[in-house]
Amino acid sequence: MQDYITVGMLNSYITRLLNHDAKLQDFWLKGELAGFRLYQQSGHSYFTLKDEDAAVSCVMFKSKGQKLAFKPEDGMEVLLRGYVSVFARQGKYQVYVEEMQPYGTGGLFLYLEKLKARLFSEGYFALDKKKKIPRLVNRVGVVTSQDGAALQDILKVIKQRHPGVEVVIAHSSVQGSEAARELAQGIQILNEYGEVDVIIVGRGGGSLEDLMAFNSEELVHAVYHSHIPIISGVGHEVDVSLCDLAADLRAATPTQAAQYAVPDYNVLHQDLANISDRIVRLMQRVISNREERLDRSMMKKVWREPGLLLHDKKELLQEKEKRLGKAMGDRIKEADHHLALAAAGLDKLSPLKVMTRGYTILSKDQRLIKDISDVAIGDELQADLVKGQLRVVIKSKEKIRRWKI
């Protein structure tokens, strides 16, 4: 029988060889990321690092991955520090990554600039998508670490400005590999809860690496999709985080974010009192304007001495009456005169007047006898005198020529 060794022995031997080579135990390696996978369960990441015609498997354990300041993506050029060892189960060697950063001028900055440019072009920072922060809030959502100073600052400011405001905290880590996911989730559950008027997301100051969760695409998405207005308060004055850009309002610190979120209760109260007073005053003015107009109208002479309005008419009436009276009197006088004249004329023509002078009127059967031809001999006629009546009989007729009329 040939001497042989087992697979396990082989792998152990090779492992020992590699582990004893100082060069392989701590080196920097540059390459392009491919097939990057982060396993949620274990928190370990697996990927391949390659250049034009070479590739090597890499693994990054959770404890190291949590310190990553950026989100690794396929195609990204990175610089990593690590060591080589053997994964005995598969008989393959791989690089165990201790730390990793984007490669190139300014590494992390360059990565951020690229991410910012992409998110910008995708519309996540669009100003017309910004929601208005309500002036009065009853309940404020806060996404931050429940152990951080930022939360204490926020609570202090809120109590100062409006003691009645309720606060709902969605705890999240604010740095490390879980931070981006937890921050995003905090925003999501507050949206799901739905009873807060505004959300503050933030943390106190730190290094760029510490703040990387606030530059994560995941958080930017959550902020952008929130139905509730978001104020970003990340403690850094110089640089603007991507979370700031996506938020509806950017504050420089958590304290300032709380000031933006909650109006000063006393000021708001005063504003409201002022506006109420103003409305009452304006209404009084509306009414007094009309009163004044009414007064001015009522001051006119016509209202004070309404008799004046009738005075002219009265004069006119009196004049007319006078004229009417005079015209009427004249007319009556004239009529009287005519009547007297007519009566006098009538008197002269009266048959009675003639009869007093001795004339008699002859009539037959109510007809006046004016000619001898009107009667026959023997006719009985009636003769009227002034003071009596005679019945006469015709004895004879004779025509007499008197004078020509």
Partner 1 sequence: MENIDFDSALDRLEDIVEQLESGQLTLEASLAIFEEGVRLSLYCQKELKKTDGKVQRLLKKLNGELELIDWEA
User: Can you give the binding site for partner 1, defined by CB under 8 A?
Assistant: 132, 134-136, 138-139, 141, 146, 152, 155, 159, 162-171, 185, 189-190, 192-193, 265, 268-269, 272, 275-276, 278-279, 282-283, 285-287, 289-290
Closer residue to partner 1 in complex, CB, 55/273: 273
Long-range contacts of 300-305 (CB under 8 A, 24+ apart): none
Q: Least distance (Å) from partner 1 to the CB of residue 225?
A: 17
Closer residue to partner 1 in complex, CB, 63/288: 288
Q: Least distance (Å) from partner 1 to the CB of residue 212?
A: 24
Q: Rounded to an integer, what distance in angstroms lies between the CA atom of residue 271 and that of residue 141?
A: 25
CB contact at 8 A, 215 and 241: yes
Q: Least distance (Å) from partner 1 to the CB of residue 296?
A: 16
What's the Rg (C-alpha) of the chain?
A: 65
Tokens of 330: 């004249």
Residues 6+ apart with CB under 8 A from 374: 364, 367
Measured in Å, how far apart are the chain's first and last C-alpha atoms?
208
Q: Least distance (Å) from partner 1 to the CB of residue 156?
A: 10
Q: Rounded to an integer, what distance in angstroms lies between the CA atom of residue 244 and that of residue 223?
A: 9
Closer residue to partner 1 in complex, CB, 285/323: 285
Q: Least distance (Å) from partner 1 to the CB of residue 152?
A: 7
Closer residue to partner 1 in complex, CB, 132/357: 132
Q: Least distance (Å) from partner 1 to the CB of residue 229?
A: 11
Closer residue to partner 1 in complex, CB, 269/333: 269
The strand pair at 166-171 and 230-234 is best described as: unpaired
Distances (CA, A) of 36 to 62, 84, 195: 14, 18, 39
Q: Least distance (Å) from partner 1 to the CB of residue 63?
A: 25
Among 191, 181, 261, 180, which residue's Cα sits nearest to residue 225? Answer: 191
Residues 6+ apart with CB under 8 A from 326: none
Closer residue to partner 1 in complex, CB, 270/356: 270
Helix orientation angle between 108-121 and 217-225, rounded to the nearest 10 degrees: 30
Closer residue to partner 1 in complex, CB, 152/318: 152
